[in-house]
Structure formats: C-alpha cells, structure tokens
C-alpha cells in the first residue's frame, strides 16, 4: 500500500485517502460553511462505584440521523458542498468524526486514587475517526472485492500505528456496527476507530484475567484458549493458513464468533503482509456466513481487540470479536435487566449448535 493522501476539511478535521494500486485520489476543496469545532466536546467522569470512566459527549445529540441517500455525507461529493468526502470518487477514506466522543490532545488519564474526591472528571481527550469501506452507498464489508477488503484492513493497520504513537492515547479500537437494529444512523458501509485516553473496562478485565493466568500457569491465556478450541474442534467455524475462528465456549450473544491469528501478536501492526491478506479474506468469509444465516443480512458488531506490546497490555492477544443481537429470523435479543444491570448474560442457544450452523454455511 502506498502512503495515504492527506486532506483537510472545512473545519480543520483531517481526512486521509487510501488508494488501490494505480489509483490517485483527486480531492477538491471542502466549501461547506461548517461551524468551528468545539475544542473540547466531551468530558470523562469517573464512576466510583465501578471504577470505570464514562464519556459524557452531550453535543452528539445533534448528529446526522438517517439522512436520505442523496444527502449521504459518506458518498463522494465532487462539488465540495455535500459530503464529508470532497472528491469525485474514492477507494477508502478515513476522517475525523464531526461529532466525536473524544477529541483533542492531552495526557492519558490515570485511575483516580481511592482517597480522592467523590466526583472526578477529566477532559475527553482522544480521537474518533470514521472509515468508509467503499464509495458505493450500498453493500457491506462482506460484499467488498478482495482488493478492496485488503485496502480497508491496511487502512486499519495504518490508523492503529499512527494513533498508538500519539501522546495520551492508551488504546486503539477499530470497530463496525452494521444494521439499523443496533442503532446505525448511516446506511453507507463504514466503520469507526476510537483512540481512548484510558484502558477500556472490558480490556482491563481481560488483561487482569490474562495476568492471573500467566502467574498461575506460565502461559498466555488467549493462546492457551485458542489451542484448547483447536484441540476440541466442536466450536470451530472456519480456519485459514494464519487464522482460526470459533464460537467461544461461554458465548454471550445469540451469534458470536472470535477470530484469532494462529501466532500470538498484539495488534494489526505486527501482522506480516501475508497474514494481513489472510485476515482480510477470513474476516470477509465470516461476515458472509453471518449474512447467510437468515434471509436478511445479520445486524452485527465487530470489535478489533488490540493491545500495546509492552506494559500492562503485553499479556494481550490481537483478535476480533463478532457478535449479533439477532436470535432468530424475526427476533432480536435485547439487553434487559440481567445483562444491562448485572452484566449477567443468559444465552438461549448452545455455542456448539451456533458453530455447527455457521460452519455449514
Ligand atoms: Zn453514501
């Protein structure tokens, strides 16, 4: 992949064009009369009862909500007046979210000491980016041509390397929400990338488990689980030269698949080009299986779990967790009291039966 072409939007936000081999981006000036950016659009507040940070980003209430297709802000805008992407066409673009939950630069936030004040807040520093998978308004990641899917994962790798090098960013999270059922407000195929100024609660909990496992067993928790899943085989969904996908033993969602590289690494920047190519292929394969379970495409969330190679994150193991709230052709699973209030998930299908279905598709 050649280096992306940088551009600037009317309110100063960064935009990056990632091009397929032989393509040259041809951006035009962004001529929209955008209001200036709020320099600090969010705050972090620390919840003393759980030990978790919460992001309070009140201005996101005003964000674009289900615009008609002709007003899609992610379709190319050759006039420089209609779109977040001022260009006649593009392959893959990444730009800073106009309504970010995190923005600006500052030091990473430390966990407040237990003897401090009840109410501890901090500026919501960090970065929120949007990644458009294609200039085509319809379709999804699963529909991308192989070269296009590879370009998307190359862009993820580029963003991961860049954001991990920025001061104050603790964790880089590339993710995708697909489907109106899970609150997606723009139909255009896209994902998002967050740079958090702290370790997210789920990552912190998983790393604590991995640390205890290392102390007790000497090995890496995730590597040992992957080896056990491969040896057992009943929950394996797909495998390739470099990757293995399985339904986890204690799956929480009606459809849940975890995708691991066969060798342990921390994030996308450590994948070789051959591994990255294989990753794009098997990731698309899994999403294709998701879309074939029912007559209509499956709403899903895809979460890339990435870690720094050193410090408290060193016990991490890069992997993708894919999950869906659809539990039958017509029914959705809602996170009700047990899940939302107590974090106690109740699944009404066995992981083995879900794996068997996905494997056969
Ligand atoms: Zn569009």
132 annotated ligand binder: no
Query: 160-200, pLDDT tens digit by residue?
Result: 999 999 999 999 999 999 988 877 878 899 999 999 999 99
Looking at the annotation, which residues are catalytic? Answer: 190
- Per-residue pLDDT tens digits for 80-107: 999 999 999 999 999 999 999 999 999 9
Distance in Å, CA 15 to ligand 1 centroid: 16
Tell me what pLDDT residue 65 has: 59
CA distance 187 to 249: 33
Q: Which of 22-31, 180-189, 309-318 has the lowest mean pLDDT?
A: 180-189
Q: Can you state the percent helix, strand and coil of the chain, rounding each to 5?
A: 30, 20, 50
Contact 146, 281 (CB under 8 A): yes
Q: How far is CA 75 from the centre of its chain?
A: 21
User: Within 13 Å, how many C-alpha atoms sit on residue 334's CB side?
Assistant: 3
What's this model's pTM, rounded to 2 decimal places?
0.96
Is 63 a residue whose pLDDT tops 80?
no
Give the residues across from 46 on adjacent strands: 53
Q: What is the pLDDT of residues 219-236, one digit of tens each?
A: 999 999 999 999 999 999
φ, ψ of residue 226 in degrees (nearest 5): -60, -45
How far is CA 7 from each of CA 38, 293, 324, rounded to the nearest angstrom? Answer: 20, 40, 35
The CATH topology of domain 5-197 is HIT family, subunit A (3.30.428)
Residues of the chain with pLDDT > 90, as a percent, come to 86
User: Exposed/middle/buried for 151, CB within 10 Å: 0-12, 13-18, 19+?
Assistant: buried
pLDDT in tens, 107-159: 999 999 999 999 999 999 999 999 999 999 998 999 999 999 999 999 999 99
Q: Does 66 score more than 70 pLDDT?
A: no
Q: Which two tokens stand for residue 79?
A: 């006039």
* CA-closest candidate to residue 82, choices 19, 137, 148: 137
Cα torsion 79, 102, 189, 74 to 10°: value is: -10
Which strands make up the sheet holding 92-96, listed edge to edge? 5-8, 14-18, 92-96, 127-132, 190-196, 171-178, 300-305, 319-324, 255-261, 243-246, 236-239
Distance 178 CA to ligand 1 centre (A): 14
Domain chopping of the chain, boundaries: 5-197, 203-360
What residues pack around ion ligand 1 (CB closer than 5 A)? 72, 74-75, 137, 188
What local confidence, expressed as pLDDT, does residue 45 receive? 98
Tell me how far CA of residue 330 lies from CA of 294, 296, 297, 299, 325, in angstroms: 9, 10, 12, 12, 11
Q: What separation in Å is there between the alpha carbon of 80 and the centre of ligand 1?
A: 15
What is the distance in A from the centroid of ligand 1 to the CA of 295?
24
188 is in an annotated binding site: yes
Rounded to the nearest angstrom, the distance between the alpha carbon of 145 and the centre of ligand 1 is 18
Topology of 203-360 in CATH?
A: HIT family, subunit A (3.30.428)
Q: What pLDDT sits at residue 69?
A: 67
- Cα–Cα distance for residue pair 245/326, rounded to 1 Å: 19
Between CA 229 and CA 238 the distance in angstroms is 12
E strands, the chain, are 5-8, 14-18, 43-47, 52-56, 92-96, 121-123, 127-132, 171-178, 190-196, 236-239, 243-246, 255-261, 300-305, 319-324
pLDDT digits 0-9 by tens, 199-211: 999 999 999 999 9
Tokens of 69: 């297709």
Query: What integer pLDDT is reported at residue 185 of this predicted model?
Result: 77
Q: Report the distance separating Cα 222 and Cα 206, nearest Å.
A: 10
Ligand 1 mean position, distance from CA 78 (Å): 13
pLDDT band at 2, cuts 50/70/90? confident
Query: Is 137 flagged in the annotation as binding?
Result: yes
Give the pLDDT band (50/70/90) at residue 62.
Answer: low
Instruction: Indicate the range of 3-12, 222-231, 287-296 predicted with least confidence.
Output: 287-296
CA distance 100 to 9: 15
Find out whether 158 is annotated in a ligand binding site. Answer: no
Question: Residue 350: what pLDDT?
Answer: 96
Ligand 1 centroid, distance to 73 Cα (angstroms): 6
CA 109 to ligand 1 center in whole angstroms: 36
């Amino acid at each position: 992949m050649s280096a992306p072409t940088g551009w600037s939007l009317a309110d100063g936000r960064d935009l990056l064009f990632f091009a397929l081999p032989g393509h040259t981006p041809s951006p035009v000036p962004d001529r929209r009369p955008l209001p200036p950016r709020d320099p600090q659009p969010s705050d972090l507040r620390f919840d003393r009862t759980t030990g978790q940070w919460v992001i309070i980003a009140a201005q996101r209430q005003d964000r674009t909500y289900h615009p008609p297709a002709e007003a899609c802000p992610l379709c190319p805008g050759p006039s420089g007046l209609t779109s977040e992407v001022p260009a006649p066409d593009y392959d893959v673009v990444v730009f800073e979210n106009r309504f970010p939950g995190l923005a600006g630069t500052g030091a990473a936030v430390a966990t407040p000491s237990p003897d401090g004040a009840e109410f501890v807040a901090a500026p919501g520093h960090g970065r929120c980016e949007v990644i458009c998978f294609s200039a085509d308004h319809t379709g999804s990641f699963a529909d991308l041509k192989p070269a296009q899917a590879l370009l998307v994962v190359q862009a993820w790798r580029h963003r991961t390397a860049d954001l991990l090098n920025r001061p104050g960013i603790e964790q880089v999270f590339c993710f995708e929400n697909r489907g109106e059922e899970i609150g997606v407000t723009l139909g255009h195929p896209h994902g998002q990338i967050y740079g958090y100024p702290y370790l997210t609660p789920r990552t912190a909990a998983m790393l604590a488990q991995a640390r205890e496992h290392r102390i007790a067993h000497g090995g890496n928790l995730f590597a040992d689980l992957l080896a056990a899943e491969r040896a057992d085989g009943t929950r394996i969904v797909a495998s390739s030269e470099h990757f293995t996908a399985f339904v986890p033993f204690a799956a929480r969602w009606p459809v849940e698949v975890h995708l691991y590289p066969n060798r342990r690494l921390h994030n996308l920047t450590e994948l070789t080009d051959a591994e990255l190519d294989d990753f794009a292929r098997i990731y698309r394969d899994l999403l294709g299986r998701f879309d074939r379970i029912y007559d209509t495409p499956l709403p899903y969330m895809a979460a890339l779990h990435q870690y720094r190679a050193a410090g408290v994150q060193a016990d991490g193991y890069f992997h993708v967790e894919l999950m869906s709230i659809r539990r039958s052709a017509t029914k959705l699973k809602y996170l009700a009291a047990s899940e939302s209030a107590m974090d106690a998930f109740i699944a009404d299908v066995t992981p083995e039966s879900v794996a068997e279905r996905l494997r056969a598709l």
